Structure 1
């Protein structure tokens, strides 16, 4: 094992002397790759050579009775993503086996947003000193998350050194491939003790009666003939058994073959020409490839000269013993169990179960530490020093303790973003204290240049994202509003429109309100006029009552008393509608009578900029103003003073600055000033600056985006700016929206349904009463003639209204 030339020599001897028709057994990928060159002579079957570099396309008679290493890359990437690891180190063997998996594994990790920060390659025959030197280099990088892919023999020596150097303690995470896990049961106990906390993968072998019987025979044979510890059956034993079975089955179906006698020659290698050849598509190879049966390792079916991917990979954890903690399947991902149909059960993920024992017996998933060029290095974060607007960035020096306190909205956003990263980032805030340029217009540009020169590892603060700065550094996505705003005074004026009382409601709403006044009055009259004397009289009087009654609900209680409960319900609902309409009308009319208007800015007025504002540096050539002034605006109070004096008194009529500064100013002076957004200039907001290509940029950007979606960014801003939720477009303050029909459609629907139902019920009730009264008049007529004592007394006609009144 591990000796390709010796394996080749043995294979040649078998082909010469034994005249074999097939070879089973190259155990390493290097041996299989070398012996596969003989594949034009006989089939080469391997049950352990898993390198993706081996394929039937290169060697048509090579048959792989094991899984291809590429089958497990998706499972590895899924585990890395499950554990939240975004940066790691890959340690692999420098061989055909060790290098074969790397391209696909790197691609799978990249698709899962994981970055391989470093690859460490170890030769198969490397000594302990070489292995120890490589581990020291990894320790110097502060690396703590590793993927290991190497042969079991090299892994045994590697992990002994890992444990010896203290890299198998709390905080470290080790993930190994199936080539190591498959042989854990055959390793010495000292090696297993040094691997406590390791997580790995191995192909899932479904249980079967055939496998159980084989295991019993295995144990019985070793117990009988070997009086020492019985080795456990691993997957390579099963694949070896299935390889022999597949070959035997193919030979059985093929029948006996004949071979040519060996020729004598001094050169033994020349004898290979006398061996019967089996070209591509030979009978024996074809029979093996087309064979399909149930073996010890499960269903055996070859495609492209190799086994198909297993139905699942087991996720195992080395803790005392090799313990299975879950599964990975191609369709269901990571699960904690499989049912009989091999479909994933609905169960928590491995990460949520918390069943893994990591190095140091820790139950907490190791958190990635950002890989540094030097052990223990902390990021030097440059922050600008500001005299004012300390709500954004505030730097305070304590002369007693000589300590520096850095606070502000920008600082809290950066801290929250780094806390959300799946790895730990250590940093120190370093104030940018160059006194010569502290208040210069190039102050922020010089801070960016320090990051470019790597004097700082990053710059955090109210730093505007600009195109010229992006040539030197990489910015995260903005964490503030983008654009600039203009601060202008507001004036209060009264409207002089004589028809303004009509404007609170739209025309369609006026028409509908009038129609419902008439409709409601008609419904009340319909219900009341037969029983209520208040609603009787000539036609003109009754029309007047209809109009009067509904419209008078706007101002006072009606003198007409209602007798029917149905009409009372209609009026109560209508009074509620009237209350809402009148309240809304009053509020809207008040807003229209007194409105805030933006003060106009003639072209002759002056406009100001803060000294180091990026807006002022690029804005001047596009401004429609004749006079522009730079003012040393350091504080919010400086803004107010400059605006208070106005341009005629040496001040300014407006100030242009970025929206975060404007919002902070407006939150304190909202009664006197407002903001408009000019359309001729914009900025991209504040961002954090890092050196070009820094891997923190996409991670911090993703964290900022997540904070924005979850509302955390808004909570931080509210903590620093009490009135942060200002209207972005203050032009809306100068115009009051009219009330339309759409806003009150629900109210009108309620009163329409109520009135209609009441009218229908009243009509049906009157019709029924009318029928009953007619029947009573017919029944009483003979009795009136019989008991009339005096024929000359005028008869009194009793109306049906009075009959109903006396009958009930």
Structure 2
């Protein structure tokens, strides 16, 4: 009987040892930085203990002496209080996120979860289908994509010959041209109809060419002739002058900003631009989900990105995020990685920039062993933190920019919507001027009709046809005078 009890006790002990996370061994291998939950010893003796693996990466997890801090540590602390568990955090032994080797073994944090060396992996760990086959993931606590991190001096285009057009967008320039032509036409028509600008024997001073030149003179703030006499033409002229002053002010302000801030256009806008250029070497982090994304992609451009990196894998790949940022700062290197981490680098280093294109939308989740009952509880807790605004608070806390007081706000060329008010004001002014010109001609027509005892409409029609009919009398008279 005693022998049977000893055998049973030995079997149970062996099973317990095999099932226990091998955390002590990880600490003995040199992981001196760790963190214990603050709830230990505070009435939580019956709380379950979780062994958490993570990786050092700003601002998710950072070493502060012998302690750890960062976004993921704060998130873990909130989750432990919500779900009532204790935890002990340690750094992953091989310093990797997790990739499947040719031998079928997993490295990094995923490997530690698979081998039961840790209960949770709380880090910027991307949720992928390959990883989901061997571990479970919670709901994402952060969303990101794949972007390109560049150094400003190596990524900005030189100013072009037409850099002076930068303050306004193409649509705005087209709108200004249309407004100029339409205003000149209204000026010409109003001058033709207004009796004050037309005496019947001579051409009005506001011919079509003079009207066009009048509009150009207003743009350059120069005095022009002829001078308007009638109320209708003066209204159209004043509205056009006001429109010109507002546009000049907006143009000068925008062009001054362009010159002072050096806001040239980023030459590498997309991954296609990155592949086509030849002066920048580019790469990503080895054994990362970003590398796997390009490796498995069917997109031709993304396949070219992977092939270009793989040809120079000895120099293209980096081992850590910190190494990647430093290479971008020190050499002609573009880093392809998580856009949200790149945003942090841009916030901390004012001479870095991220290209506009972001591909491969994905999320960061907490990894748990396959079939763990805690996966769903952690997911629900993460959703509650998102609904309460705690996740947004943590992001604003750890992504605070050091360039906010130094850098200018993001600038873009003025679009028609920004100047819509002045365009509307111009249209109303032109319409008012044309209405007054018609009223002026109507008054004269009515006066002439009373004197000649004719219909007002007939006189008005005659006046209009006389003003817009080509005048042939002057050439004929000149020809007649030339005869002996």
Q: Is the 8 A contact 2:349 2:403 kept in 1?
A: no
Q: Does the CA contact (< 8 Å) of 2:266 and 2:355 recur in 1?
A: no
Instruction: Tell me whether 1:439 sits opposite 2:124 in the alignment.
Output: no
Contact 1:474 1:693 in 2 (8 A): yes
| 1:465 equivalent among 122, 127, 135 | 127
Query: Which residue matches 2:102?
Result: none
The answer as to whether partners of 2:144 and 2:339 remain within 8 angstroms in 1 is yes
d(CA) in 2 for partners of 1:447, 1:393: 14
Q: Which residue among 396, 400, 411 is the counterpart of 2:64?
A: 396
Question: Equivalents in 1 of 2:440, 2:205: separation in Å?
Answer: 25
Aligned equivalent of 1:653, options 318, 325, 333:
333
- Quote the Cα distance in structure 1 between the aligned partners of 2:142 and 2:88: 23
Counterpart for residue 482 of structure 2? none
Contact 2:127 2:362 in 1 (8 A): yes
Q: Which residue of 1 aligns with 2:367?
A: 689
1:525 Cα deviation after fit: 3.1
Spell out the pairing of 1:228-307 with structure 2 (5 A cutoff).
none
Which one of 110, 119, 142 corresponds to residue 480 of structure 1? 142
- Does residue 754 in structure 1 map to residue 422 in structure 2? no
Conserved in 1, the CA contact under 8 Å of 2:228 and 2:234? Answer: yes
The partner residue of 1:548 within 213, 218, 223 is 213
Which of 499, 518, 526 pairs up with 2:184?
518
Normalising by structure 1, we get a TM-score of 0.38
Question: What is the distance in 1 between the residues matched to 2:346 and 2:217?
Answer: 47
Distance 1:634 1:714 in 2: 26
Q: 1:635 to 1:771 in 2, by over 3 A?
A: closer
Alignment partner, residue 202 of structure 2: 538
Q: C-alpha deviations, 1:685-733, integer Å up to 9, x for none? A: 311123444455345445545665776544432322235999xxxxxx9
Match of 2:147, SS? Answer: strand
Aligned residues: 373
SS, match of residue 392 in structure 1: coil
- Contact in 2 for aligned 1:392/1:408 (Cα 8 Å): yes
Of stretches 468-477 and 689-698 in structure 1, the one that deviates more from structure 2 is: 689-698
CA distance in 2 between partners of 1:446 and 1:768 (Å): 91
Distance 1:499 1:576, change over 3 A: closer
CA distance in 1 between counterparts of 2:428 and 2:364 reads: 56
Say if 1:481 and 1:769 are closer, same or farther in 2 by CA, change over 3 A: same
In structure 2, the CA distance between the partners of 1:494 and 1:377, relative to structure 1 (3 Å rule), is same
Aligned pairs for 1:157-556 (under 5 A) are 376-380=46-50, 382-386=52-56, 389-398=57-66, 404=67, 406-414=68-76, 424-433=82-91, 437-439=93-95, 445-452=107-114, 456-488=118-150, 489-496=154-161, 504-506=169-171, 509=175, 512-522=178-188, 525=191, 530-531=195-196, 538-539=202-203, 541-543=205-207, 544-556=209-221
Q: Secondary structure at the match of 1:494?
A: coil
Deviations 1:503-562 (A, max 9, x none): 9535853652233231342366368x54479x9983163315433333322111545666
Matched with 1:664 is 344
| 2: CA distance, partners of 1:713 / 1:725 | 23
Larger Rg over CA atoms: 1
Q: Which has the higher strand share?
A: 1
Structure 2 stretches lacking a partner, 5+ long: 1-43, 100-105, 297-302, 405-409, 454-484
The equivalent residue for 1:615 is 290
For 1:542 and 1:456, how far apart are their aligned partners in 2? 87
Other structure's SS at 1:629 match = helix
TM-score between the two structures when normalised by the length of structure 2: 0.59
Secondary structure in structure 2 of the residue aligned to 1:722: coil
The question of whether the paired residues in 2 share the 8 Å contact of 1:460 and 1:689 is answered with yes
3-state DSSP of counterpart to 1:382: strand
Contact 2:55 2:95 in 1 (8 A): no
Cα 1:411/1:562, change in 2 over 3 Å: farther
How many angstroms does 1:474 deviate by? 1.7
Q: CA deviation at 1:397?
A: 4.4
In the alignment, is residue 674 of structure 1 matched against residue 354 of structure 2? yes
Describe the superposition over 1:61-119 as per-residue Cα deviations: whole angstroms up to 9, x where unpaired: xxxxxxxxxxxxxxxxxxxxxxxxxxxxxxxxxxxxxxxxxxxxxxxxxxxxxxxxxxx
Q: Give the structure with the larger helix fraction.
A: 2
For 1:518 and 1:555, locate their aligned partners in 2 and report how far apart those are by CA, in whole Å. 15
What is the rounded CA distance, in whole Å, between the counterparts of 2:222 and 2:79 in structure 1?
A: 63
Higher relative contact order (CA 8 A, sep 6+): 2
* Conserved? CA contact 1:487–1:675, under 8 Å: yes
RMSD: 5.0
Alignment partners' CA distance in 1, 2:341 and 2:166: 40
Identify the match of residue 720 of structure 1 among 398, 401, 405.
Answer: 398
What secondary structure, in the 3-state scheme, does the structure 2 residue paired with 1:477 have? coil
Structure 1 residue runs of 5 or longer lacking an equivalent are: 1-373, 399-403, 647-651, 727-732, 779-808
CA offsets, 1:644-666, max 9 Å, x none? 554xxxxx633333223322223
**d(CA) in 2 for partners of 1:417 and 1:521?**
71
Q: Is the 8 A contact 2:188 2:206 kept in 1?
A: no
Q: Is the 8 A contact 1:479 1:685 kept in 2?
A: yes
**Residue in 2 that maps onto 1:575:** 241
Match for residue 478 of structure 2?
Answer: none
Tell me: CA distance 1:383–1:504, structure 2 relative to 1, closer, same or farther (3 Å): same
Aligned-pair distance for 1:392? 1.5
User: Counterparts of 2:183 and 2:119 in 1: how far apart (Å)?
Assistant: 73
SS at match of 1:547: helix
SS at match of 1:654: strand
